[in-house]
């Protein structure tokens, strides 16, 4: 089976990483897989050397200017964003010789999340969810909101080596608290920065995979203050490193945290609420350990290989 994934750009987002991981997994299984990216992306430029230090594409990565460059003898073309859904839709109407699939990792109403009002781009995104093509979604939150034919394929992560014996080394003295800035307002950067004014938060951004692994093994408490998430992969990755995650209840967190028992949920999305939870945990280090150990056990069940295997099954069923 020949499969094409169409990306809107190559960047350091978790969504792009997920597409490359799935494409690599299918390629490794023997499928004819290619990833297409725009030669002239709307935002920024493509730095292949830097990207390969983050996630290495094993399958061919090809550039496109318009959809006429896509292969004709292809079985499935997977749109991975609302922009690429318009490209795939146009291509299907002109050829109708392949199966279109829409891989949805979030509801892409970015301006609404940031400004509270729908923009033209937001409405363009919402319109794509009404297209008649089968959709693959990564969380029950998305599944419940998507119309039409849909398949739930939860995301997973690469196996994380077991360094739990080195965990919580300085927990009783001062818990190591980590917040990662995402550069997007609705991801909660403002809350993490505000909390850091009164609490010892170690703040990072744009971490490589290797450095992120090191930081998460040092981390006792991991903060996530997102307003919306299609899945919330950073929390799952932190859980896999035995972190006690203090987080809003977004995306697939109820699914991979066993309905919140593997994390500490913040009921109010405010700096004061995060501060209160952190202060409570700092006074009870044993709870940080207990939540971290349970988080590690739960996260081990959510592997990228399971995601790839289920994605493969869905594509074969759809075809």
The stretch 29-37 carries a mean pLDDT of 95
Other CB atoms within 10 A of residue 204 CB: 12
pLDDT digits (tens, 9 = 90+) for 102-154: 999 999 999 999 899 999 999 999 999 999 999 999 999 999 999 999 999 99
Q: Are residues 178 and 244 in the same domain?
A: yes
Q: Give percent above pLDDT 90 in the chain.
A: 75
Give, in order, the Cα–Cα distances in Å from 107 to each of 28, 33, 137, 231, 297. 30, 26, 10, 11, 29
pLDDT higher than 80, residue 11: no
- Strands 150-152 and 177-180, sheet pairing: unpaired
- Quick one: which H or E segment has residue 61? strand 61-64
Provide the CATH number for the domain around residue 81: 3.40.50.11090
Question: Could you tell me which of 278, 209, 285, 284 has the C-alpha nearest to residue 247?
Answer: 278
Q: Are residues 76 and 189 in the same domain?
A: no
Per the structure, the count of domains in the chain is 2
Q: Are residues 144 and 182 in the same domain?
A: no
Q: Are residues 71 and 20 in the same domain?
A: yes
Q: Are residues 194 and 278 in the same domain?
A: yes
pLDDT higher than 90, residue 195: yes
- Strands 99-104 and 221-224, sheet pairing: unpaired
Structural domain for 138, as ranges = 2-156+303-318
Q: Are residues 242 and 283 in the same domain?
A: yes
Q: Are residues 106 and 187 in the same domain?
A: no
Q: Which tokens sit at 237?
A: 């990755």
Q: Are residues 198 and 295 in the same domain?
A: yes
Q: Cβ contacts of residue 314 below 8 Å, gap of 6+?
A: 134, 136, 151, 153
Q: Which tokens sit at 30?
A: 């023997």
Provide the CATH number for the domain around residue 173: 3.40.50.2000
pLDDT higher than 60, residue 51: no
pLDDT higher than 70, residue 240: yes
pLDDT digits (tens, 9 = 90+) for 247-299: 999 999 999 999 999 999 999 999 999 999 999 999 999 999 999 999 999 99
Q: Are residues 241 and 308 in the same domain?
A: no
Q: Are residues 97 and 121 in the same domain?
A: yes
- Quick one: which H or E segment has residue 189? helix 189-196
């Amino acid at each position: 089976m020949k499969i094409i994934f169409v990306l809107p750009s190559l960047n350091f987002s978790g969504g792009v990483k997920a597409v490359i991981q799935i494409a690599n997994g299918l390629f490794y299984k023997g499928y004819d897989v290619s990833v297409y990216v725009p030669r002239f992306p709307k935002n920024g430029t493509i730095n292949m050397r830097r990207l390969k230090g983050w996630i290495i594409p094993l399958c061919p990565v090809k550039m496109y200017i318009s959809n006429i460059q896509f292969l004709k003898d292809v079985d499935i073309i997977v749109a991975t964003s609302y922009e690429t859904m318009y490209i795939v839709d146009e291509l299907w109407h002109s050829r109708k010789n392949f199966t279109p699939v829409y891989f949805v990792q979030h509801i892409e109403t970015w301006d609404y999340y940031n400004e509270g009002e729908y923009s033209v781009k937001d409405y363009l995104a919402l319109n794509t969810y009404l297209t008649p093509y089968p959709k693959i979604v990564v969380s029950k939150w998305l599944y419940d909101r998507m119309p039409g034919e849909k398949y739930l394929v939860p995301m997973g992560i690469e196996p994380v080596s077991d360094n739990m014996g080195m965990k919580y080394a300085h927990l009783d003295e001062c818990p190591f608290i980590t917040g990662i800035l995402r550069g997007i307002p609705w991801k909660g950067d403002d809350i993490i920065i505000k909390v850091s004014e009164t609490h010892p938060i170690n703040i990072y951004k744009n971490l490589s995979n290797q450095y992120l692994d090191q930081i998460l093994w040092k981390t006792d408490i991991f903060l996530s203050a997102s307003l919306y998430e299609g899945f919330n992969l950073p929390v799952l990755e932190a859980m896999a490193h035995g972190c006690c995650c203090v987080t809003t209840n977004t995306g697939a967190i109820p699914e991979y945290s066993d309905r919140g028992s593997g994390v500490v949920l913040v009921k109010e999305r405010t700096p004061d609420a995060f501060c209160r939870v952190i202060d409570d945990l700092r006074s009870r280090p044993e709870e940080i350990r207990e939540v971290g150990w349970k988080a590690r056990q739960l996260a081990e069940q959510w592997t990228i290989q399971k995601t790839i295997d289920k994605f493969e099954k869905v594509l074969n069923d759809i075809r």
